[in-house]
Amino acid sequence: MSYDVGAGDLVLCVNAAPNHVTGEPVPLVAGETYRVYYVMPFLCPCGRSDALLDVGVGFAWCQTRFRLLPKPKKRQVTRKVTAPKEVETV
C-alpha cells in the first residue's frame, strides 16, 4: 500500500463489499472508523495488499478496505485567567 498503517491508527472503512475471497458478507460498515489493533505483514489472497489489519471485527481484513485517517493535530488553546481585583484602601 502507499501508506504505513500501525497499531493504534484510525482507519476509515471504504469498502464493505462481500469478502473478495470467499464471497461471504462482512460485518464492516462503510463510512465507519475503526482502530487498528494489529497489522499482520501477510500477503492478502487477493494480491492487492501486503498486509491484513485486525480492527477487532471478525478476524483480519485486507488493507484495501480501509483508508488511513490523519492524526488529529494538537491545537494550542489560550485560556483567560481571572485574577481577583486588588482594592486599595484610602
Quick: pLDDT tens for 6-55. Answer: 888 899 999 888 876 677 888 888 899 999 998 888 877 777 778 888 88
The predicted pLDDT at position 80 comes to: 82
Quick: pLDDT tens for 66-87. Answer: 888 888 787 888 888 887 888 8
Domain layout of the chain by residue ranges:
10-68
Which CA distances in Å does 34 have to 22, 45, 67, 83, 89?
23, 22, 10, 44, 63
